[in-house]
Amino acid sequence: MMVALRQALRLARINSVLIRHGLDEIILATPLMRPLRFVLYLLPWNWFRRAQPPRAVRLRRALEELGPIFVKFGQIMSTRRDLLPEDIADELAELQDRVHPFPGEQARAMVETALGKPVSELFAHFDEVPLASASIAQVHSARLLDGREVVVKVVRPGIEAIIRRDLSLLYLVAELAERYWSEGRRLRPVESVGEYERTILDELDLMREAASASQLRRNFEGSALLYVPEIHWDYTRPRVMVMERVSGIAISDVARLRAAGVDLKVLAERGVEIFFTQVMRHNFFHADMHPGNIFVARDNPAAPRYIAIDFGIMGSLAPADQRYLAENFLAFFNRDYRRVAELHVASGWVPRGTRVNEFEAAIRSVCEPIFERPLKDISFGGLLLRLFQTARRFHMEVQPQLLLLQKTLLNVEGLGRQLYPELDLWSTAKPFLERWMSEQLGSRALLRELRYQAPRWGETLPALPGLAHEVLQQARAGQLRLDLGSTEIERLRRDLRRANQRSVLSVLGAALVVSATLLLGLPQTPGPVMAGVPLVSWILGGLGLYLMLVVAAAGDGG
């Protein structure tokens, strides 16, 4: 019950922030709240509305005020150009983690608690002034007793409770969208929030981040493309991580890169190669490659090497998705739109009954105009938007497991456009993909798969004749059947009815709370009409909270 009360209060605060930023029309534009749109005409500030910044700017500012979890969610949602208008997607891409640091002495105490020793016994020097502070953690410089320079990453205190509180609200909003929005089923917002939940909760475990950094370092061991700092495992715990301190030129500082003599064309091409190497060859990729996490080594300007930091968000693909993407990329680069359409149908991403020739023509009309153009003349964001609009026509479902990859691809585009706008992305990526496909389909791939499967086949093959005989005997005797009795079916029906009733009550309760919040936002001007507004607001709010508490109690009771 207390959880439901806290959710209702947090929801009321979110609505008040949206109203303060002039976004009350967003609240009342949802299908759930549409019957209450008349409230807009009762709000005095809408009678004489002053000029305001564009809606995308107002939304970005509201998310920044709501806190780091909403900022991070906005960053990820900026890649969902199938879901958002282009102006909003572009503005959300500008969101940054502008979070005040927590006290350095508190960070020092957390390090001592995690490692079980005073900082003076662990480090020759520990700087309490943080190098950087983000929504999940902050970083301090330090020096080990043997003189090696390191950085110490410390998880922000109390952040997990804030994350879980806000995640529950995001799930509530996503469930309402999926239930009442016509596009909800296709866009699968609940699954998108689920992907975000897994991503952000993984960031809280610095042991996981350290393991990811070690894996990426091993993947690029001896490579001239990418350097990954070393993890000091003796000093790493779930809430504290110590890593080698690296130095380089920030990849966003193009003026310094030019001054250092860095070949920007080679640097941009290597960025594309790193992306495809991680995604296709290693199937393990850095999914947060924004400019703040990427540096360039100074030692070899003619053949520059990337330096990566912050490994809290990593991605990988199922083998089927990986193969599907590779074939799509290759067919796309070869302008084989028929193959692209066939792959979409074969994968089940568009309905089986889709006319391949119509889908092929639609894809051609979107993709053909961008070929033989340098990167400066291509917008992947615009391309994705047009592809999603085409997909909507053919009822293509969004794949939430590919959100991180899409986010990474947009980051790579941004870096390439900044470094070398004349980059020919197609000629850079195509040879790599052709080589990868030949490795996957050639004789070496067959031998590799045989070696991988041989131990399992050795265990299962001797048992197969006996298992086959047993199944055939059961089939002959008519004993192969699905055993689901009428009692279980009736219980499922009963549970579904109860869940539906609870959903209706919680939706009604949330609507009443939002209505009360909007009415309380009315300026207290004298007059017989306005005199009763506070009383009505408290009655509506109280009734809404009561309904939500009833639903919570029913859910706890099973």
Question: Which residues are annotated as catalytic?
Answer: 288
- Please state, as a whole number, how many other Cβ atoms lie within 10 Å of the Cβ of residue 228: 25
User: For the chain, what is the radius of gyration of the CA atoms?
Assistant: 28
Q: Provide the token pair at 308.
A: 């990566």
d(C-alpha 123, C-alpha 118), whole Å: 9
Q: How far does CA 416 lie from the centroid of its chain?
A: 22
d(C-alpha 382, C-alpha 402), whole Å: 18
Strand partners, 314: 286
d(C-alpha 92, C-alpha 80), whole Å: 10
Q: Provide the token pair at 354.
A: 């889709």
Helix (H) or strand (E) segment spanning residue 226: strand 226-227
d(C-alpha 363, C-alpha 296), whole Å: 37
d(C-alpha 32, C-alpha 347), whole Å: 34
Burial 236-258 (b: 16+ CB within 10 A, else e): bbebbbbbbbbebbebbebeebe
Handedness of CA 296, 297, 300, 306 (dihedral sign): negative
Q: Could you tell me how many residues make up the chain?
A: 558
73 Cβ neighbours under 8 A, 6+ residues apart: 63, 170, 196
137 close to 155: Cβ distance less than 8 angstroms: yes
d(C-alpha 484, C-alpha 316), whole Å: 38
Alpha-helical segments (H) within 67-188: 68-77, 86-92, 104-115, 119-122, 159-180, 184-187
d(C-alpha 83, C-alpha 189), whole Å: 9
Angle between the 403-419 and 380-393 helix axes, to the nearest 10 degrees?
A: 150
The burial of 44, by beta-carbon neighbours within 10 Å (0-12 exposed, 13-18 middle, 19 or more buried), is given as exposed
